[in-house]
Each structure stands twice: as C-alpha cells, then as structure tokens.
C-alpha cells in the first residue's frame, strides 16, 4: 500500500517532529478542563454550501473501515456512511493501512469480501455517500 519512499517520509516525520508533537500533547494536557477560547471569524468570511450529495444527511451510519462492515454500511440504505478511523478502529499500523486500502477499493467500487463460510459481499449499484473521519493528528499510536 505504501511505497518505500512514503515509509521513509513517515519515518523522517516521526524522528524529526515527534518531540514537538509530544510537547504539544503535554501542553494540551495542562489545559484539560479549561474553557476553549474561540477566535472570531475574519470580516466577510463565508463558507461554501455542502455538495449536493451531502445536503440530506438525515440517515447517516458511522462504522469501522473493515471490508465486510463497510460493504454493509454502504448498502444499508443510509444517505451517508462515515468511515471512522478514530473511535471505530484499533490504531495499529496494519489496521490503519488496511483501512486505507479498503477506502481505495471502495471509491473505485471494487470493495468485496467473501466470508470463511463462502458468503460473498459486494457493493450495490446505489450506495451511501462516503465521508471519512480521520485519526486525530495528535492521537497516541499503539505499536504492534
């Protein structure tokens, strides 16, 4: 899934930026329980409307990025499926990388799964609109 160049980049980021990440985590911990200070929007600031396929989110399903679960969520009849890399995922390297591979297959409409019992799962013609909830940048990693 990741090239050797991409892995080298991630390794360099970790080595060079981890001390600053740890410092920011400690600073955040020291503010725990304090009220946030909201910054006002700049003068004339506006936000574009949501795209057409996200205008109606009355029925939304959130779930893990495991193949079978994603297929079931996409095919559920919900308007939107939020692929959750935060709370619905054990943040191991292999789980995160596999989740991204599953997303890649989903957007190419090649996401499929066959259970050990032989039951085949595939995407329907009409599926939910995909949103992705990424892991927080400052989350603690679980090594494995």
Q: In the prediction, which pLDDT does 140 show?
A: 54
CA distance 55 to 94: 34
CB of 129 closer than 8 Å to CB of 54: yes
Q: In the prediction, which pLDDT does 109 show?
A: 97
**What does the domain layout of the chain look like in residue ranges?**
1-30, 57-135
pLDDT digits (tens, 9 = 90+) for 46-77: 999 999 989 988 999 999 999 999 999 999 99
Mean pLDDT of the residues in the chain: 91
pLDDT digits (tens, 9 = 90+) for 19-50: 999 999 899 899 989 988 888 989 999 999 99
Q: In the prediction, which pLDDT does 143 show?
A: 46
């Amino acid at each position: 899934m990741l090239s050797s160049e991409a892995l080298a980049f991630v390794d360099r980021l970790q080595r060079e930026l981890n001390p600053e990440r740890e410092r920011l985590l400690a600073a955040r911990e020291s503010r725990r329980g304090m009220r946030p200070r909201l910054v006002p929007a700049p003068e004339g600031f506006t936000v574009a409307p949501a795209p057409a396929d996200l205008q109606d989110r009355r029925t939304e399903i959130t779930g893990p990025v495991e193949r079978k679960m994603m297929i079931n969520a996409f095919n559920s009849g919900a308007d939107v499926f939020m692929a959750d890399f935060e709370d619905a995922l054990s943040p191991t390297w292999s789980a995160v990388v596999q989740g991204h591979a599953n997303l890649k297959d989903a957007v190419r409409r090649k996401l499929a799964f066959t259970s050990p019992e032989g039951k085949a799962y595939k995407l329907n013609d009409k599926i939910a609109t995909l949103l992705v909830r990424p892991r927080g940048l400052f989350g603690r990693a679980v090594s494995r």
